Amino acid sequence: MPDRADISYFGAGPALLPTDVLESAAQALLNYQSTGLGIAEHSHRSQYAADIINEAKADLATYLDIPDDYEILFMQGGGSGEFSATVYNLVGAWVTRKKAEILKQMGVQDEKEANQEELVSALKKAIDSELKLDYLVTGSWSLKAYQEAGRLIGPEYTNLATDARKANDGKFGKIPDESTWSLSKSPAMVYYCDNETVDGVEFPKFPAALGPNSEGERPIVVADMSSNILSRRIPVENFSAVFFGAQKNMGSTGITVVVIKKSLLPPACPQPSPALMRKLGLPVPPVIFSYETIAKNNSLYNTLSIFDVYIAGQVLKKMLNVFPENKVDGQEAVANQKAKIIYDALEAHPGVYRIVPDKSVRSRMNICFRVTIDGDTDGSEAKFLKGATARGLTGLKGHRSVGGIRASNYNTISVSSAEKLADFIKSFAQQ
């Protein structure tokens, strides 16, 4: 029976958690702050819960240098839930902005003063001719998000601004040159996945094509950062919203974090009424997917898993203690070091290993490769996985949709574990 210290777990998620965080969480689950009750038993309306949420928000803002004009939300539903929530909320924000433009054209300031039939008619016309959601599809998860948008509001309102498969013989593994992207003129949002867990593709930096225009105006950019958040510095001010599941780099399964510009929330941008959205033929979000509702209630509209927020908060505190001065920049340096160790080992034996994505977009978090010896891939990969497990290197099997090997290099993977994997990669190739 292996001990926890004997295992280097490279699973894609849920991911490895720091042992000391689990130990403190175990105690908190039994008796939190000497209250005689575990943290999972305290009411989500209690001051304990509010303090846990507020501390986690403050520590996340400190670690990532999140500006004051952003709100942090803790939600449920995972990344897949956010595929829907982003559509609901950003389409609603677009309708609010468009309604303000139309009211100005009508010469009225208050919606109640406007002719309602004329207003609805003008909005419908604008929706039919202008409403677009742009998607950069570079892997399996951004593809799912694009498909969900089409399911919710109709494919006529979605724009496949780029499809990476067209640049890579029908498979994911590259990011098409930005000059080829067909971005809409003024989309409700431009959506992309910063790191594709299944396909091992990561944007090397924020796309220049999504920067401010000549007048200094920025598009509404939304990014899924579920698998690389906290691993590198991100230009938060370039995004209108960022979301990520906690279960890869920040905690356990059960909570999803949304970092959103306050200008997309009331009072600056209240969501349209459900009655108006129905008249316009647009979807109304379930209340638990309403950013406006979650923000108004400090993430406590419904019964949030405070235990999972606590774990995330403890992970953040640990990272701030490890990197008190350079914060996320310190972790980024370590992530890059570990990725280099593993990629160098693979590149040293090109006759055995084939790294799946193009070198220009290789993920630092999910290192995807194939193993082939004497023309046999399936058998070679089975032997590789068996040998790795015997050395305590687990969680390396690739996603069921693509196969192969995948080493997920999340923040809790130590440099020592990366070196152990690299040593096995070398020894397996030399056998």
- At the topology level of CATH, where does 328-430 sit? Aspartate Aminotransferase, domain 1 (3.90.1150)
Domains 58-308 and 328-430 share a fold: no
Identify each DSSP E strand in 118-240 by its residue range. 133-137, 158-163, 189-193, 195-196, 201-202, 221-224
Reduce the DSSP state of residue 135 to 3 states and report it.
strand
C-alpha to C-alpha distance for 355 and 7, rounded to whole angstroms: 24
What's the pLDDT at 113?
Answer: 86
Domain at 58-308, CATH from 3.40.640.10, 3.40.50.11540, 3.40.50.10490, 3.40.50.1820 = 3.40.640.10
What's the pLDDT at 98?
Answer: 97
Cβ-count burial of 265 within 10 angstroms (0-12 exposed, 13-18 middle, 19+ buried)?
A: buried
CA distance from start to end of the chain = 27
What's the pLDDT at 215?
Answer: 82
| Type of residue numbered 282 | L
Mean pLDDT (10-residue bins), the chain, 431 residues: 90 95 96 97 96 98 98 97 98 97 90 90 97 98 98 98 96 98 96 98 98 88 98 97 97 96 97 97 96 98 97 98 97 98 98 98 98 97 98 97 97 98 98 87
What's the pLDDT at 335?
Answer: 98
Q: Which two tokens stand for residue 105?
A: 């054209």
- The ranges assigned to domains in the chain are 58-308, 328-430
The answer to pTM > 0.75 is yes
Alpha helices in 247-289 (DSSP H): 274-279
- The answer to whether 313 and 391 are in contact (CB under 8 A) is no
C-alpha to C-alpha distance for 162 and 6, rounded to whole angstroms: 44
